Amino acid sequence: MNIQSIGSSSLLNNIGMQSLEKNIDEKKSFSDVISNAINNVNEKQINADNSIESLIKGDDITMHEVMLSMQESQLSMQLLIEVRNKMVEAYQEINKIQL
């Protein structure tokens, strides 16, 4: 039985490495990264709202798809809020440093 290591062959690690390499090549500013994250969360929320409207109208969408889009938008919002909290915490720690 051949067991592969989690290190370099993991799908999640490969995705993370690809996005890291992509970010290094593009050299985006911090404000661009935050703006993109906010826009992505907004798009997910809009998609969830549209899927709810489609379900109410009786369009060809299942309850499963609606719940998935709602959960995805909720998780992305929670992640954005946690990132914001960590940024505020880091800013407060920097302000505590005496020069």
**What is the mean pLDDT of the segment spanning 41-48?**
96
Per-residue model confidence (pLDDT) at position 57: 94
Instruction: Provide the domain limits for residue 48.
Output: 29-96
* Mean pLDDT of the residues in the chain: 83
Beta carbons of 7 and 13 less than 8 angstroms apart: yes
For the chain, the C-alpha Rg in angstroms (whole number) is 19
Residue 80 lies in a domain: yes
> Is 4 a member of any domain?
no
User: Could you give the angle at the alpha carbon of 72 between the alpha carbons of 13 and 69, nearest 5°?
Assistant: 130
Whole-angstrom distance, CA of residue 42 vs CA of residue 61: 21
pLDDT tens-digit readout, 63-96: 999 999 999 999 999 999 999 999 999 999 999 9
Does 78 fall in a domain?
yes
User: Considering its fold, how many domains does the chain have in total?
Assistant: 1
pLDDT, mean of residues 44-73: 95
> Which pTM does this prediction carry?
0.66
Does residue 62 belong to any structural domain of this protein? yes
